[in-house]
């Protein structure tokens, strides 16, 4: 009570604060050491402690081991890490929570407004949602190619109506429905073969192997298994246009937009030539970087610049001289720099490949 009073906190708030400190000190020693060393702000450590409080000891220890450099971990990345820990070390709890959450799925079509428009809201299974989004995107693109000059958002709304009308014309009693098609990027380890690794991936999100089995057990499911892609491979082409195989390789390598702290999925990003194509930059995965449209424009039309220091690692410089390193561990802010420390705008410098 004396400590809480000295800190100027309420009794309830003080107990919560002490609980978070104890969580860090005893169950998250790496996070605690980062705070003591001044590398991690205490408020960030508190939020991490609050997020891991409900985990079993083994799961909390797993999260702590992965947070050896917690300063670069964003909240979305932390949530995925905690979800993976629950799947690994408390699978019964995960399946119970997933089953309970699945009971809350719904789709609602609102009443028409005075303009003849309705709003749609829903909560879907992740695979169903991806299928729906892919179908809408394909049909919206087709509408554009056929001369529809409406915006992408408007064409997507029209595409959803087209899908509904097409479904109403189907004889659902017939056989031969194409069913769901899943494209699996499969990574097999000895733990997977032995059945001791229960964690799978849907894009970047950890999911249980049981959920994958449920998806693949859908009627008329067809599965296309692709060979493993070398995300560090170099197969340049002479054209400016980017082949699909290059795009997939870059998406698997970087996962998200590579601007500092941006979490937009790479599959929804532009691919930027780090060294411009008209300056000799190759159309090769080693020279392609996923940037969402906003940050692609910032790099093209402002003084934001980046270097590829090694494949998958990018060092950005802001217009005011702040530096950020972005890699698979997150974003890490570096010391402020002078203009003289940076390359000429638009110049690309890459360290020699030491593979």
Q: What is the pLDDT of residues 238-265, one digit of tens each?
A: 677 788 888 888 888 888 899 998 888 8
Strands (E), 27-166: 106-109, 120-123
Return the pLDDT at 118: 86
> For residue range 85-143, what is the model confidence (pLDDT) as tens digits?
999 898 888 889 888 999 999 999 887 777 778 899 999 998 899 899 999 999 999 99
For residue 276, CA distances in Å to 96, 135, 173, 342, 350 come to: 51, 33, 54, 17, 14
Q: What is the mean pLDDT of residues 189-198?
A: 65
Q: What is the mean pLDDT of residues 161-177?
A: 68
Give the Cα separation of 294 and 338 in Å (integer): 25
Is residue 351 pLDDT above 50, yes or no? no
Dihedral, CA of residue 4, residue 8, residue 9 and residue 11, to nearest 10: 50
Confidence of residue 345 (pLDDT cuts 50, 70, 90): very low
Is residue 204 pLDDT above 80, yes or no? no
Q: Return the minimum-mean-pLDDT range out of 57-71, 298-312, 334-348.
A: 334-348
Main-chain phi, psi angles of 290, to 5 degrees: -75, 125
Q: Are 18 and 4 in contact (CB under 8 A)?
A: yes
Return the pLDDT at 133: 92
Average pLDDT in the chain: 81
Indicate yes or no: pTM above 0.75: no
Of residues 311 and 174, more confidence is placed in: 311
Question: Helices 75-89 and 57-66, interaxial angle, to 10°?
Answer: 140
Residue found under tokens 């080693």: 286
Is residue 355 pLDDT above 70, yes or no? no
Q: Are strands 181-184 and 222-225 parallel, antiparallel or unpaired?
A: parallel
Terminal alpha carbon distance of the chain: 58
Q: Return the minimum-mean-pLDDT range out of 57-66, 114-123, 344-353.
A: 344-353
Question: Helices 29-36 and 42-52, interaxial angle, to 10°?
Answer: 170
Is residue 222 pLDDT above 60, yes or no? yes
Confidence of residue 26 (pLDDT cuts 50, 70, 90): very high
């Amino acid at each position: 009570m004396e400590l809480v009073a000295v800190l100027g906190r309420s009794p309830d708030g003080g107990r919560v604060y002490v609980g978070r400190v104890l969580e860090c000190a005893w169950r998250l020693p790496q996070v605690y050491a980062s705070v003591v060393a001044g590398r991690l702000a205490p408020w960030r450590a508190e939020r991490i402690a609050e997020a891991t409080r409900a985990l079993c000891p083994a799961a909390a220890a797993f999260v702590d081991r992965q947070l050896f450099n917690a300063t670069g971990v964003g909240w979305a990345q932390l949530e995925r890490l905690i979800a993976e820990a629950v799947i690994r070390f408390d699978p019964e709890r995960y399946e119970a929570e997933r089953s309970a959450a699945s009971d809350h799925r719904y789709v609602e079509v609102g009443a028409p407004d005075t303009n003849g428009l309705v709003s749609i809201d829903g909560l879907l299974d992740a695979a169903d949602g991806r299928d729906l989004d892919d179908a809408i995107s394909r049909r919206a693109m087709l509408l554009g190619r056929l001369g529809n000059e409406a915006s992408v958002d408007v064409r997507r709304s029209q595409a959803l109506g087209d899908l509904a009308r097409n479904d109403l014309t189907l004889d659902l009693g017939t056989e031969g429905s194409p069913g769901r098609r899943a494209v699996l990027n499969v990574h097999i380890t000895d733990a997977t073969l032995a059945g001791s690794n229960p964690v799978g991936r849907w894009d970047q999100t950890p999911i249980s192997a049981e959920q994958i089995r449920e998806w693949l057990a859908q009627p008329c499911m067809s599965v296309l298994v692709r060979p493993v892609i070398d995300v560090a491979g170099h197969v340049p082409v002479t054209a400016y246009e980017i082949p699909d195989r290059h795009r997939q390789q870059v998406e698997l390598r970087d996962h998200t937009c590579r601007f500092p702290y941006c979490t937009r999925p790479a599959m929804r990003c532009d691919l930027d030539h780090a060294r411009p194509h008209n300056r000799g930059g190759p159309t090769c995965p080693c020279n392609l970087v996923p940037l969402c449209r906003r940050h692609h424009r910032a790099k093209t039309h402002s003084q934001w610049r980046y270097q590829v220091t090694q494949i998958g690692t990018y060092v950005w410089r802001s217009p005011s001289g702040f530096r950020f390193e972005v890699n698979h561990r997150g974003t890490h802010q570096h010391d402020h720099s002078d203009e003289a420390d940076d390359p000429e705008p638009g110049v690309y410098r890459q360290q020699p490949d030491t593979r």
